[in-house]
Amino acid sequence: MALLPRLRQLMRRPSSASRVGARRPTTASRRGDTLHEDALRSMLSDDPNNERAFQALAEIVRRRAAESVPEEDPLTAPNVEHERQHAAELAVWALGEELAGNPRAWYPLVELARLSVRDDHEGTIRRLTTAAERDPSGAALAQSLALLSEAGQPVEALNLGVGHWRPREHDPEVARQLVRAAIQADRPLEAKQHLASLDLYPDAAAVAALKDELTRDVAHAEQSITGT
């Protein structure tokens, strides 16, 4: 079952009252997690796009949610691993939505899009568009394009990139992702156009190696299409 329908089911379903076999973290473990979580939340309050802090906090809430699922309850034992996975996914989703409420936050939106990319196309594009609009550096846009391309949606990546890329200001990684998306979509001419836009970047030396790399990629794509 796709993620979002599973999440909706989990949110609607009442929790089992049985605690048979439930793992109970030690007091020291709970205290350690709480202190670590508080520190991570403080870091994310200062910078909601701190990727390492987000991933570390996501791991804590994922583990805590999985541990809340009873191990030996006769009613849930056959599906306990699925239950743990679903609970962990719901916990990370809730964390992403909580942090995405910060108007400066773009990374949590990218992570929410990663969770929804397979079963909520419109929601995914909406989240990635908002992420790109919140980030003046272009890092959010680059990650969004990579996410869509990896999900087999290079045309959607191109549409998002063309509408938001600012070659003079954005991280050159956006150009890499746009060129690769165009190649993946069998659009070598469009790839060449995006490659040429790198000339607008103010630090030519900084993008020289990237231009050489992408020039080779485009040439290889053209040869593959012509069969030469």
Q: Are 186 and 225 in contact (CB under 8 A)?
A: yes
Is 17 a residue whose pLDDT tops 50?
no
Core vs surface per residue 119-157: b (16+ CB within 10 A) or e: ebeeebbebbbbbbebbeebbbbbbbbbbbbebebbebb
Tell me: the pLDDT tens digits for 30-79? 555 788 899 999 999 999 999 999 999 999 998 988 787 666 555 555 67
pLDDT of residue 148 exceeding 70: yes
The predicted structure's pLDDT at residue 30: 57
Between 30 and 18, the more confident residue is 30
Query: Can you tell me the distance from the alpha carbon of 123 to that of 136, in angstroms, rounded to the nearest whole number?
Result: 22
pLDDT band at 82 (very low <50, low <70, confident <90, very high): confident
Can you give the residue ranges of every domain in the chain? 137-228
Q: Could you tell me the pLDDT band of residue 184, with boundaries at 50, 70 and 90?
A: very high
Q: Measure the CA–CA gap between 78 and 61, rounded to whole angstroms.
A: 24
The answer to whether 158 touches 191, Cβ cutoff 8 Å, is no
- CA torsion sign for 123, 128, 129, 134 is positive
